[in-house]
Amino acid sequence: MGSSKTVVIKGLSIGGGSPVRVESMIKTPLSDIYGCAEECTALAAEGCELIRVSLPDLSLAPNMKVLNERSPVPLMADIHFNHRLALAALGSGCASIRINPGNMSDKKGTEEVIRLARDMKAVIRIGANGGSLSRAQMQKSGGDRAAALACAVEEQLRILLDNSFEDIIISAKSSSVTETVRANSILSQKFPFPLHIGITEAGSGIPGAVKGAAGISLMLAQGIGDTIRVSLTGPSTDEVRVGYSILRALEIRHKGCSIISCPTCGRRRIDVVRLVEEVTSLLPKEIKDGTVIAVMGCEVNGPREAAGADLGIAGTPDGFVLFRKGVPVCNDTAENLRKRLIEEIGRL
């Protein structure tokens, strides 16, 4: 989105004007290869474009190789501390790895990882986390945690650049929205590399989704961010759904269908809550990206408020009205609502 450089992971372009990518991380341990493969398939069905997989032990490298062969989506191996894990991930066919070169104590080993990644044309993602800032980084930044995050990324970046490696994604995350936004603002102004953004440890349910959306939206609205992950305590597929919802709300990407509905009030003439659920259940999976469907409780919020919808429904004193782009196409009584709705959805 905002970066000038582009990296490519198995045909997936990131940065340099490419669409903002939506990624997630599988929650299944790599020891359960069948569970991992099923989760990758489910994520792909939701539109996930890059899947991060934790490789915590060398004994699991064969499973990583199998998963690389089975996954319909490119994988990024998540590596910490041990450079041998990074070498194993690359050797198993991973076209991208996430490492922190600053916490790999074996300098020669880190350089070996960089050489192999270069030979394989693999991408390396580096990044700082708010929970792992050093005392030296905090002191250098005068106690400013956002500046310290950016400083930590720059230290990692220097290791790669000193080894003439530039197929890089950078990332700075914190559980604080304000820290994360400011850190990424600093990085986006200093470096041309693609930025992966998100709010780490955002939580679960509505609070987690809101926190992630708040931070990601603030950054995207400033042109910061090339790939996103909504970090939720819950199913990985939820992360992808929320991610695309954020991009639709900001009118950055229009994957899938958008349902707009009124908040309801005492004027409502139909059960909007139930009807939204019914409409959602009737939508075909192959519905055209960017389709907008409106569900409105009464004629006040009816065709005019939702005049841009590809299909809309509003309650009336006698039943309901269906409309397309603000133009009524059907007036009928409540008992025929489902039948008419199915007919019109079939015409989308």
Residues 189 and 57 in one domain: yes
Give me the mean pLDDT over the 330-347 stretch.
88
Does residue 262 form part of some domain?
Answer: yes
Does residue 90 form part of some domain?
Answer: yes
Q: What is the pLDDT of residue 47?
A: 95
User: pLDDT band at residue 345, thresholds of 50, 70 and 90?
Assistant: confident
Does residue 1 form part of some domain?
Answer: no
pTM of the predicted structure, to 2 decimals? 0.91
CA distances to 139, 140, 171 from 149, rounded to whole Å, are 12, 11, 9
Q: Which two tokens stand for residue 35?
A: 């569970």
Does residue 204 form part of some domain?
Answer: yes
The CATH number of whichever domain residue 108 belongs to comes to 3.20.20.20
Dist CA 18 CA 20 (whole Å) = 6
User: pLDDT band at residue 334, thresholds of 50, 70 and 90?
Assistant: confident
Domain end, chosen from 199, 224, 249, is at 249
Q: What is the pLDDT of residue 73?
A: 97
Give DSSP secondary structure letters for 150-195: HHHHHHHHHHHHHTT---EEEEEE-S-HHHHHHHHHHHHHH--S-E
Residues 159 and 283 in one domain: no
Residues 332 and 204 in one domain: no
Residues 165 and 244 in one domain: yes
Residues 245 and 283 in one domain: no
Give me the mean pLDDT over the 274-284 stretch.
89
Residues 54 and 191 in one domain: yes
Dist CA 330 CA 43 (whole Å) = 38
Query: Which residues form the domain of 271?
Result: 258-346
Q: Phi/psi at 20 (nearest 5 deg)?
A: -65, 120
At 44, the amino acid letter reads A
Residues 197 and 175 in one domain: yes
Does residue 239 form part of some domain?
Answer: yes
Residues 156 and 57 in one domain: yes
Domain end, chosen from 216, 249, 282, is at 249
pLDDT digits (tens, 9 = 90+) for 30-80: 999 999 999 999 999 999 999 999 999 999 999 999 999 999 999 999 998
Residues 335 and 242 in one domain: no
Q: What is the pLDDT of residue 1?
A: 58
Which residue in the block uniquely carries the two structure tokens 């695309």? 244
Does residue 75 form part of some domain?
Answer: yes
Give me the mean pLDDT over the 215-234 stretch.
97
Does residue 2 form part of some domain?
Answer: no
Task: Give the CA count within 13 Å in the CB-facing half-sphere of 188.
Answer: 21
Residues 27 and 123 in one domain: yes
Domain end, chosen from 215, 249, 283, is at 249
Residues 188 and 111 in one domain: yes
The CATH number of whichever domain residue 290 belongs to comes to 3.30.413.10
Dist CA 169 CA 98 (whole Å) = 9
Does residue 295 form part of some domain?
Answer: yes
pLDDT digits (tens, 9 = 90+) for 83-94: 999 999 999 999
Residues 209 and 269 in one domain: no
pLDDT digits (tens, 9 = 90+) for 103-155: 777 889 999 999 999 999 999 999 888 888 888 889 999 999 999 999 999 99
Overall domain count for the chain: 2
